[in-house]
Structure 1
Amino acid sequence: MPAKDNSSSHRSEDYDLQIGDTIPYYESFHDETLNMVKTILKEPKIWLDTGCGTGTLVNKAVQEFDTTSFILSDPSPEMLNLAREKLSNQTKRLRILNPNETSNISLGNDLKPDVITAIQAHHYLSKEERTETTKVCYDLLRDDGVYITFENIRPKTEEGIRVVKEYVKNYQLKRGRDEETVNNFLKRFDVEFFPIKVEEHISLLEKTGFKVVELFWMSYMQAGFYCIK
């Protein structure tokens, strides 16, 4: 099997087919993000999706927001190529940045997104890297702009960790993944991705400077937060 070409547990070409068998309710992350943007901003002018993957979120968003311009960023060239192909009929409202980590994105002082989204994008980072990356998103955003992030979360207790791992294992097995693949995925916990508790997410976002920080979605090992600058 060819080596992975991104930080997830899937090759880029397999990502869309496999992610729903890996993370429960994954499609809801995108749907709830769109609903939250509609609720707060109605029709944003500029939307940056960092860690955009294959462009699935933006592909949904262009159908819902008629005048919004979208900027896509991801560290993986292969992911960006798939996003470019998926969104080939939307080039007039689309700008795809060169492959880059969120912490290295630069848009210029005259370009301030109304919305920045980071959906399952930053949980591979260390504590220091996560702090730096969150601050970059804050600085890029316009005043009163909205930052929405979905991230892996850490249960409060060791027993909670055991239970959620067992839940995810059963979910993936029922979705047709073999036991070896499932066990290898669970071994990535605290090795390849580094979940933090909900309270730690909220504290980080508040310390970054956001005037509003709210949890609006939680399911087993993932949570969604919206923030207003």
Structure 2
Amino acid sequence: MPTYNAAFDAFEYNDKVEKTVPYYNEFFKQIIDIVDVLEFKDIDWLDIGCGTGKMAEAAYNYFNINEFAFCDVSEEMLNITRERFKNKNNRFFLMSAEEIEFCDKYDIVTSIMVNHYFNKTVRERVILNCYKALKKGGVLFSFENFAPNTGFGKSMQLKRWKKYQINNGKSENEAESHINRYGVNYYPITISSQLDILKKCGFNKYETIWISGMQAGFMGIK
């Protein structure tokens, strides 16, 4: 099974990610708001790289979910989600986004802080898999780290990101270690390059829906 080098394990994830990624919880609010505006009903939802189930928690709080599918490469993450949502209509898939082979099945596909772990070639294949998994009119939401357009922008934003982590309780060494993952353990691309991939994969409409620091949100409609 293909894997990616995630920053945190299942049992520390929720605590660590909020100290590391600015506005992390805002990602889910943005998705919920747009799904609400688009007026989806009885939703079939696939969450790739589901982690501990924060996307599912938000979705179940706001919408009538017909089926929620959890997909992750971590068996520990899936065990957590099974326990959290054991009384819901769910499916669980221990697999990478590279391996999904659904066709015209889901209204919504979400991928939160996942795609930047893939190089450009694999990223295109993953996004194409997401496109195929969607029903006509379905929506892909992706939030991830992105690459600034210039060297100056990269340097400035990485310094801001390091400062954020230190201000939220990390040591300087911990913050520096995470910053040094850029281009080594994950592979951000520019916002324009991300939109180009959505277009190339066949999405009828595609937009940047949120930007802050070095994180951005995107959507594509099949």
TM-score normalised to the size of structure 1? 0.92
In structure 2, the partner of 1:10 is 8
Of 77, 87, 92, 1:96 maps to 92
In structure 1, the partner of 2:45 is 47
Of 201, 204, 212, 1:208 maps to 201
Residues 1:174 and 2:167 are matched in the alignment: yes
Determine what percentage of the aligned residue pairs are the same residue.
Answer: 32
The aligned length equals 220
> Matched residues in 1 for 2:158 and 2:210: separation?
19
Of 87, 100, 105, 1:112 maps to 105
- The two structures, once aligned, show a CA RMSD in angstroms of 1.5
The ranges of structure 1 where at least 4 consecutive aligned residues each deviate by more than 6 angstroms after the TM superposition are: none
- The question of whether the paired residues in 1 share the 8 Å contact of 2:42 and 2:64 is answered with no
- The question of whether the paired residues in 1 share the 8 Å contact of 2:108 and 2:140 is answered with yes
TM-score normalised to the size of structure 2? 0.95
> Matched residues in 2 for 1:94 and 1:136: separation?
20
- The question of whether the paired residues in 2 share the 8 Å contact of 1:6 and 1:12 is answered with no
SS of equivalent residue, structure 1 residue 226? strand
- State the Cα distance separating 1:7 from its structure 2 match: 2.9
- The question of whether the paired residues in 1 share the 8 Å contact of 2:101 and 2:129 is answered with no
Residues 1:122 and 2:120 are matched in the alignment: no
- The question of whether the paired residues in 1 share the 8 Å contact of 2:116 and 2:188 is answered with yes
> Matched residues in 1 for 2:65 and 2:216: separation?
29
SS of equivalent residue, structure 1 residue 199? helix
Residue segments in structure 2 that go unaligned for 5+ positions in a row: none
> Matched residues in 2 for 1:67 and 1:122: separation?
25
Residue by residue over 1:114-138, the C-alpha shift from the partner in whole angstroms, topping out at 9 and shown as x without a partner, is 1111111111101110011111111
- State the Cα distance separating 1:39 from its structure 2 match: 1.3
- The question of whether the paired residues in 1 share the 8 Å contact of 2:45 and 2:65 is answered with no
Q: What is the one-letter code of the residue matched to 2:91?
A: R
In structure 1, the partner of 2:181 is 188
> Matched residues in 2 for 1:103 and 1:161: separation?
28
SS of equivalent residue, structure 1 residue 53? coil
- The question of whether the paired residues in 2 share the 8 Å contact of 1:46 and 1:70 is answered with yes
> Matched residues in 1 for 2:68 and 2:169: separation?
35
> Matched residues in 1 for 2:65 and 2:167: separation?
41
Residue by residue over 1:53-75, the C-alpha shift from the partner in whole angstroms, topping out at 9 and shown as x without a partner, is 11111012111112432111011
> Matched residues in 1 for 2:184 and 2:59: separation?
33
Of 67, 75, 78, 2:73 maps to 75
- The question of whether the paired residues in 2 share the 8 Å contact of 1:62 and 1:68 is answered with no
> Matched residues in 2 for 1:65 and 1:42: separation?
8
- The question of whether the paired residues in 2 share the 8 Å contact of 1:6 and 1:76 is answered with no
> Matched residues in 1 for 2:83 and 2:5: separation?
20
SS of equivalent residue, structure 1 residue 8? coil
More strand by share: 2
Residue segments in structure 1 that go unaligned for 5+ positions in a row: none
Name the stretch that deviates more: 59-68 or 139-148.
59-68
- Residues 9/67 of structure 1: CA separation in 2 closer, same or farther (3 Å cut): closer
In structure 2, the partner of 1:35 is 33
> Matched residues in 1 for 2:81 and 2:140: separation?
21
> Matched residues in 1 for 2:193 and 2:28: separation?
23
